[in-house]
Every structure is written in C-alpha cells, then in structure tokens.
Structure 1
C-alpha cells in the first residue's frame, strides 16, 4: 500500500502528460481544420488547396489520420528521445526546443533574481522592526507589493522600451545577444512577480511572528537580528515551493514579453507552433515545460522539507494564527474602494463608444479627464463601463480558484509534486487556444482559461501549509486519539490553511485580471471594441510611446483594485 501511494503522484503526472499531448494533437480537429491544409497555408501557399495537393502533403509529412494516432505516435518517439520533425520547417524538433528552453531559462532565472531582490527590499525593514518590537510586519509593504504585482508585465515592458531603450538609449530594446539584452525583459517580468512574492511572504511572515517560539526567543533576550533571521527562514520555508512555481510559470507565461522584446523563448515557440499547427514542435515545447515543472516542483518540496528540518519529523512544527483583535481598522482599503467606485459611478453616464475623430489620442482635459483612445473614444467612460466586466470576472475567477485550490491542497495526502505542478507549467495561452477552439474566443472563454491554471499556485500553497499543519503536535495528537482523516482536515488542518490561502487568492485578483487582459491582447478574450480593461490595454499599447495616457485608465483601475485587495484582509477581526 505504501509503495502504491508513493507511485500514485508519478502515475498521475504521467497520465497528465499523456492527456496534454493528446489535447495538443487534437487542436486541428477541435478547430475543425485539416492539419494538411494548415501546414499547406504556411509552407506552400502557391500550391493551392486542391485535394491532390493535400493528399500529397499528407504522404510527404506522414500526417496522422486522427489525434489519438498522432499523440500515440509522437509519445512513442519521445520515449526513445526522438521529439519528431517539424511539419513546417522539416527540421528536427529537439535542437529548436532545447535552444528556446535555454533562452527562457536564462530569462526566467534573471526575473526570479529581480523578484527575490524586490521582495526582500519590500519586506526586510518591516520584518526587522516586527522582530524587535513585536506585532505585524507593516502595512505599507503589503500595499506596495500588491500594487507592484498588479502592474501588467507587457505595459511595464513597453514603458521600459520607450523610456530606457528608445528615449535614453541605455539598453537594447529587442533581441537576445548578450547579458545587456536580459535587463529590460527581466525587469518587466521580475518586478510584478516580486510584488506577488512579497505579498505571499508577508502573509507567511505574519503567521511566523505569531508562533510561540518567537515569543520565547524574545523573552530570552535573543537579539532582534537573530529573531528576524529565524522568522525569515520560517516564512521562506512556506514560500519556497511557490518560488519554484514562479520560475516555471515565468517560463510558460512570458509569451507577450518574449514577443515584445523579440526573445526566442519556449513560450513564444509553443504559441507559434500551435498557431501554425506544427504539432510535433508544439507537443515537444509543452512537454518540456511540463517535465521541467515537475522537476522544479519536486525541488521546491524537497527544499521545504529541508528548511523545516527535524521539526517536521518530530511533531514540533508550530502553526501561528495572527491575532488581529487589537489592530485598528485601516481606512486605506475603503479609500481605495471609494476612489475606484467614484471613478466608475461618475464615468458610467459618459458615452464609451462614440468616436470623435478630432480628439484621437487627445491628452487629458476637462472634456476627457483621462484622455481619448486612438478612435477618439472617452477613456474615462470606457474604464467605468469596463470595470464590471474586468473586476467582476477577475473576482469570480479568483473565487473559483480559491475553492478548488483549498479542496485540492487540503485533500492532498502528501506534499509530493503532482498534477498541479504539471498544469502550472502549461502556458495559459495554450489553454486559451484550446478553450477558444472549443467555444470560440470571448471573455467567458478567457475566464475559463485563466481559472484552468489559476488554481494551481493556490493549491500548492494550501498543500504546503497542510503538510506543516499535519506535522504539528496537536494534529498528531488528534490522529492518535482516533480522529478520522476527514475530521482532522475539517477541524484542524483547514483552519490553519484557509486564511493564508484566501489572502493569497485576494492578492491574485489583479493577476487574474491581467491573465484575462493577456488573452484579450492575443485576440482570445474580449473583442477589441469591448471596454474590458484588457481589451483597452491591448488596443493602447501601440501608442504608449506617443500617448502614454491611453494606458493610464486600465492601469489606474488595476492599481486601485490592488490597494483594496492588499488591505481588506488586514481589517478582519479575530473570532
């Protein structure tokens, strides 16, 4: 039984890889398109689309007759190390994928360094102050982290290109030919990721500060620096699996940034291959990302165990519950919500769809306080009318992700990497393409695509916290007196997990909005004429260098949303 349980995560991961290969292989049929016709459009458009030309191409490329045969044939070759030959370029797939993976790994690691430095800079002063005086680690860092995490990577990248590369001429804007080419894309990816990481570490730090050993150390007169280092190690132990997920997520989700900076990474390779229906190349790129996700997910689990040390085996892991009963209620979330509500309510009577040629790309003025877009439409009105679409959809998606993440994470019997780590490595764009193939592009399809992978970091976070809770003394005591697994999970594990995961989920509300925006940017979400913030952002990016106010409206909305979700959890009262 023990051996079967140990093999279950491996079997689950293998099954997930097989299913993903089958889904990618089925894309042409999901799109109701002939793979031969798709390849013919790319390679030999001059041949025409006669049945004879299609039959000749099928014979030349040995195209599969159905998705099952294609997936099984490709997997059989992959097991022997042969990832196939591109249907478009007729070149072996393996060198292309490995080269793109090396580029993406370099970029992702550089972005992780930026994220780690950013998170440390945001949190270090508050942790040291809290370790010396007691109490929470500070609210300002939580606000700054959430606002930074709400900045769209593609917008930040476009601003960096326009200012640092074009206006100042300090760094190259496109390509990948040396360390200097990494700086701008690493900043574009790493700064928002650092904000999200800092927000998560802030929650873990507050839980660590509430654990009994912190009070004991203080009563012994332990130097504040030593207490701060202990708190930091305890918080990092909880967050290290998320850092592994962050690295893999940057590999697969940086498609828009890679395209903006002309970086030949594996995310762009997978997207281009899927769009061209070059299935061997797409299957290889997605599978490599998945395998790397499993490896890094396992590394995160092992690092978590190592940082917990002997406490995990000795039933000495304490679970702290921050005491919020004595905290003053903060006015900041209500102020942020009030400003956002004021902008929306006052903008709703304005016309979001009328085009006025004379005010194309007009700067902010009394008539258009937030400026006008490329068609002369009022950006204030479009922001107000798009708020319900963006905020409502993002909140709904996040709520679903939190519920699924809690169910999967608390229900997991071990912290081993599994299907969640597999899905985390799948680029959301690929999921969006699958959903669009089945249901057509649209806001609902984009929301489904974001939710399909958005629950994974929450599930891994819940899984990590649940593992720590099950290693605590009071949970082991409950097991020894005969409590059933369901009762232990419901009464002991879930209360220790739900608050940090809900706070993590709230921090991801702007992230969900950005995911929907990214799919809208690629034509898989809301239509271009929609006032949804992602569609407005996508339509404005081409003009950011000469009319930067065109991106101000959606970015302002996302920033205000981030302020609200950053501080609402801090206003709760203890039960």
Structure 2
C-alpha cells in the first residue's frame, strides 16, 4: 500500500512539473507575450509601453509566473480553464471539442493499426497453428515499408490521390465519419506495422510453450491455438499500445494539418506558436490525463489477461533461441543505402539551375530535380549523412536510457506516462523557446521522448520474465538479485528490446523529418529529409519523383532495420526450458527435448 501511495505521489509531482513547465513558456521565450497578443488581436495598434503594460495587466502577467500559475490552477478547481489570450473565448469548450475529434480519430486509427498488425502476423499465425513455424518471419518487407513511411507523406498522398483525383473520400475538413477514413489510414498503417513486428517477434515463443504442444497433441484446432497464442503475447505489448493511444491523439499534428482536422494536437501546437498560454496549458493537461487513463487501463488489462500465473510465477519464457533470419538482407539493404548516400555525396546539393526545374529522373539526374533545379540525388545523399547518423545516435541513447529505466518500473512507469503525454512537436517548441531554433532542436526533442517505448517494453517483459518457472526455481536454489539480473533476466529481455530499438530507428528518422516538415528543425537550404519532403510536397502531383525519392530512402532504411532485427535471432545455447516444438517434420512430430532444456535454469 505504501508503494502505491509513493507511486501515485510521484505521478502527481511529474504531472504538476509538466504543467508548470508549460506555464513558464511565456517567461522562457525571447518575445514578449503581450506583443504577440497585441499583433493577434489588433495589428494596427502601436506596441507602445503603455499598451503592452495594459495587456499584461489584462492577462495577469504583471504578477509574474507564480501568480499566473496559481490563478490558473484555482480556476481549474472551479471548472474554469480561463479565457483564450487570442480569441477571448472560454478555453474549456474548445479544448473538449478538440479532444473529442482527436479521440474519434485515435479510435479509427487504432482499429486500422490492429488490423494491420493482424495482417502482418497472419502467415506466422498460420505456420504456428500448423506446427511448421520456422526461423523466417512473414511480412518483413511490407512492415518495413509501412513503418518507414512518414505519416504526413501518407496523408498527403491519400489526400491528393484518393481524395482529390479519384474523389472516393473527402480529403479536407471534419464533418462526419467519412472524413475519418483517410487520416485514420495515414496514422494507423505505420503504427500497425510496428505493433505487428513486435507481436510477430513474440509469437514463436508462445507456440513453443508446453500448453501449445499439449493442445496440438490433444487435437485442438490450429485456429484455437493461434487465438490463445495471441492472447499470451498481448500483455507484453499492451504498454506500447497505451503509448500509441496517446501518440495517436496528441502526436498527430502533421496529419491534422494536412487534413485540416481541429484535433487536440493541432490546437496545442497553434496555441504554443501563438503563445496562447491558457489553451496550451489545458491541452497539455488533457494529454497528461489521457496518458494516465490509457496506461492504467493497459496495466489492468495485462493483469486480467495473464491471470494468477503472473502472481504465482507459473509462466514460461517467450524468448527462446531461434534460427537465424534474413542474414544477407541487412547487408544488401545497407549496401544499397550506402551506395545512394555515396553517389549523392559526390554531387553539389546546393547548385541551382532554374532551367532544370522539376526534371524527371535521367542519367544526369537519377532522382530528378526539385523546384529550384537542384539535384535530388545530391540532396538525398547529403541529407542521409546527417539524418542517419543523428537517428542512430538518438536510437542508441534511447536504448540505453530505456533499458536502465525499465529495470526500475516504479520510477520509470510514471515518468514514461508523463513524458509520453507531450508530443515531440511540443517538446521541440519548448526546446526552441529555451535554446532557440536550429539543427539541434529536433534531436533534443526526439531524444527526450524516444526512450519511452523501450522503457515500457523492458518493464513489461521484465514483469513477465520474473514470473516464469525457471526464475522461481533459480530463486529456490538461492540465487541473488544480481545473479538473476545478470544471468537470467537481462539475457531474456535485452534481445527483444534491442530488436524493438532497431524497429524504432526509422521512426526516429521520421520524427526528425516530421519536425523538419513542420518547420521546427533545420532551415533551408539544408538537405535534411524532412525539409526535402516539405519543400517538394506541393509538387507531388506534377513531379512525384521529388517526393518519392526521399520517401524511398526512408522505406529502404525501414527495410534495413526490420531485416537487421530479424538477423539478431541467432541460434545460441538456451537457458530457458522448452523448445520451438515444430521443425520441418510437420504437425505430428516433435524433436526430443534435451536434458538442459527440461531442467529449470540454474540447475547445473
């Protein structure tokens, strides 16, 4: 009981710190909020000292940050979130309306994500149900492409092709269920690809557990076994699913911008840009509360799905050695990516030739040219050097921080919930307010939130691994905490988390590109990938190669990450009981279980 109270207090402190940090935004920026409000309300008035002082008194800024925060918090207790500094209207109705739109979009996107994840795992489920599951994974190429496509690029293509050219669905606005289809696809497809790969990574271990072998021996249908295998793997994915819920609500800024959706993410971004502090505070608080509800619901669902086995230490480990998969593919993808970057580095990315504007790919310009006649191969190559190195460095740091914090879930879980409630765009705005805009802003913003899914994954896997039979047996033999952590828990948890970090590598690059797309990163004429997509997106219909070139390189990066994650599955001496249970011999045969595999870990 005392631990629960301490955890709750830690959550409250973090949430309060976040809201207070957002509340200090006007005092962190280098511009006067009164001047911003004056220009928004009446651009014709002169910003004289008397006029600015009157606006500060009207907004309550003359009393300092503490007076502003206490006044806002006191209003919340009365159900009043204040009035907008820009429009003068009540904040709460507008924020609730934006939250409703975001929740509807999130629900539709989550449905798309679940269906996409199911399709990616479909072949693995079929092979596992037939007891013919081998080392190779299904849907690697498809999931790589889906996971590496920028959401704003998918949104732009869907809006242009499906909405405008074909006219099948409305492309702009927010007036009913039909308007949710295209943005839900743009958000749900990449998220579903990541969830599908994580689920596909766990399924072979579930099909190799004793219950699955016994069910197959008793003649249960493959569909029933597959359904129970999914149920067995879902608890380890629920924490990340909770993160997706918040990310699809507050982090869908670029998609909301493309489709003109008045969602919470877009409302919060506009409030931050306009320094509309009451709207920004209310939007951030709504995201924090949503994060707390989502993560609390996923933890309850995980315990209900796992049942008393989690409490009694009766689980078996899902992480067994598996045959190598995709050994040559990472090398092939890596060589192609290096070749593209190398060829691009030999060209000048800033050379202008207005007579060659929007030229199609040719021998002189293999990727074509952009709207200023610059060679796209050169710009993609030079952008790859910065983007890939930066994404790799951020991913490595996120892996280290995520694993270390995941090992102490009582500390990390509330921190994950709070940090995940802040979209990278808002973090970038806060960084910009403190340190100014520049190339380092996207790196700091993405790095501040990139570790959260890895920490959540580590904590979820650690919770289930500690409840396994071999850990219970090893404890009974007198093993201490250090021995368990070094020889049992970390060897089981690190490989899947490392594969997860590799799968997140394209997402880190995409987050950097998204901030560049929104103008919060590197500025022109930098060849950064996000800027390339933003600059050429208006010409997607006339010159599609201008957008497809950087998008294809992002897809190649995703394929490299997925194939490298599969190649990490090497056959090694197993410490955990059980076997994959199905080789090439078919449903009726199983290889004998070795003595070392029958004995609990720790028995020598």
| Partner residue of 1:41 out of 36, 39, 52 | 39
Q: CA RMSD in A?
A: 1.8
User: Shift of residue 331 of structure 1?
Assistant: 2.0
Say which of 256, 267, 271 aligns to 1:258.
Answer: 256
State the partner residue of 1:555.
551
How many Å separate the matches in 2 of 1:532 and 1:61?
39
Could you say which residue in structure 2 is the equivalent of 1:407?
404
C-alpha distance 380-305 of structure 1, shift in aligned 2 (>3 A): same
Counterpart-to-counterpart distance in 2, 1:95 and 1:413: 35
- Equivalence for 1:127: 125
Indicate how the Cα distance of structure 1 residues 44 and 161 shifts in structure 2: closer, same or farther if over 3 A, else same: same
Give 1:18-417 correspondences, 5 Å limit. 18-63=16-61, 65-136=63-134, 138-324=136-322, 326-327=323-324, 330-413=327-410
2:450 to 454, 470, 484: 454
Matched residue SS, 1:45: coil
- Residue 493 of structure 2 is matched in structure 1 by 497
CA shift for structure 1 position 221: 4.1
Work out whether residues 136 and 324 of structure 2, in 8 Å CA contact, stay in contact via their aligned partners in 1. no
1:263–1:218 distance in 2 versus 1, CA, 3 Å: same
Q: Size of the alignment, in residue pairs?
A: 571
2:68, 2:202 → 1: CA distance? Answer: 46
Q: Which residue in 2 is equivalent to 1:424?
A: 420
CA distance in 1, matches of 2:76, 2:399: 35
Q: For 2:481 and 2:68, how far apart are their aligned partners in 1?
A: 43
Of residues 218-227 and 555-564 in structure 1, the stretch that sits farther from structure 2 once superposed is 218-227
Question: What aligned pairs does 1:7-18 form with structure 2 within 5 A after superposition?
Answer: 7-18=5-16
Structure 1 residue runs without a partner (length 5+): none
Cα deviation digits, residues 361-385 of structure 1 (max 9, x gap) = 1111121111111111000111111
Given the alignment of the two structures, is residue 571 of structure 1 paired with residue 567 of structure 2, yes or no?
A: yes
- Cα deviation for residue 80 of structure 1 reads 3.4
Structure 1 residues 328 and 538, CA gap change in structure 2 (3 angstroms): closer
- 1:112–1:190 Cα contact (<8 Å) kept: yes
Deviations along 1:42-73, one digit per CA (max 9) or x if unpaired, are 11222211110011112222225333332233
TM-score by length of 1: 0.95
- TM norm structure 2: 0.91
Aligned counterpart for 1:520 among listed residues 513, 516, 519:
516
Q: Structure 1 135/64 Cα, relative in aligned 2: closer, same or farther at 3 Å?
A: farther
**2:427 & 2:263 partners in 1: Cα distance?**
18
Cα offset, 1:479, TM superposition = 4.3
Deviations 1:177-232 (CA, angstroms, capped at 9, x unpaired) = 01111111111111111111111111122332343433343344443222211211
Are the aligned partners of 1:424 and 1:456 in contact in 2 as well (CA < 8 Å)? yes
* Regions of 4+ moved over 6 Å: none
The alpha-carbon distance between structure 1 residues 414 and 23, as it changes in their structure 2 partners (threshold 3 A), is closer
Contact preservation (8 Å) 1:128, 1:228: yes
Whether contact under 8 Å (1:139, 1:567) holds in the other structure is no
**1:20-43 deviations in Å (ceiling 9; x for gaps):** 112112212221222212211211
Q: CA deviation at 1:414?
A: 8.9
* 1:442 paired to 2:432: no
Kept in 1: contact 2:330–2:563 (CA 8 A):
yes
- CA shift, 1:473, in A, is 2.5
CA distance in 1, matches of 2:153, 2:525: 19
Q: Which moved more, 1:152-161 or 1:77-86?
A: 77-86
Query: Residues 329 and 93 of structure 1: is their aligned pair in 2 closer, same or farther, counting only changes over 3 Å?
Result: closer
> Is 1:470 aligned to 2:466, yes or no?
yes
**SS state at 1:418 partner:** helix
Distance 1:73 1:494, change over 3 A: farther
What's the CA shift string for 1:131-171, capped at 9, x where partnerless?
31343474341331122111001111111111111111111
Q: SS at 1:84's partner residue?
A: coil
Unaligned stretches of 5+ in structure 2? Answer: 573-604
Q: CA deviation at 1:486?
A: 4.2
- Does the 8 Å contact 2:341/2:385 carry over to 1? no
Cα deviation 1:100-145 (Å, max 9, x = unaligned): 0000000011000011111111212221212313434743413311
Alignment of 1:525-540 (within 5 A): 525-540=521-536
- Give CA-to-partner distance per residue, 1:292-326, whole Å, 9 cap, x none: 111010001111111111211221111132323x4
Aligned residues of 1:311 and 1:317 also touching (Cα < 8 A): yes
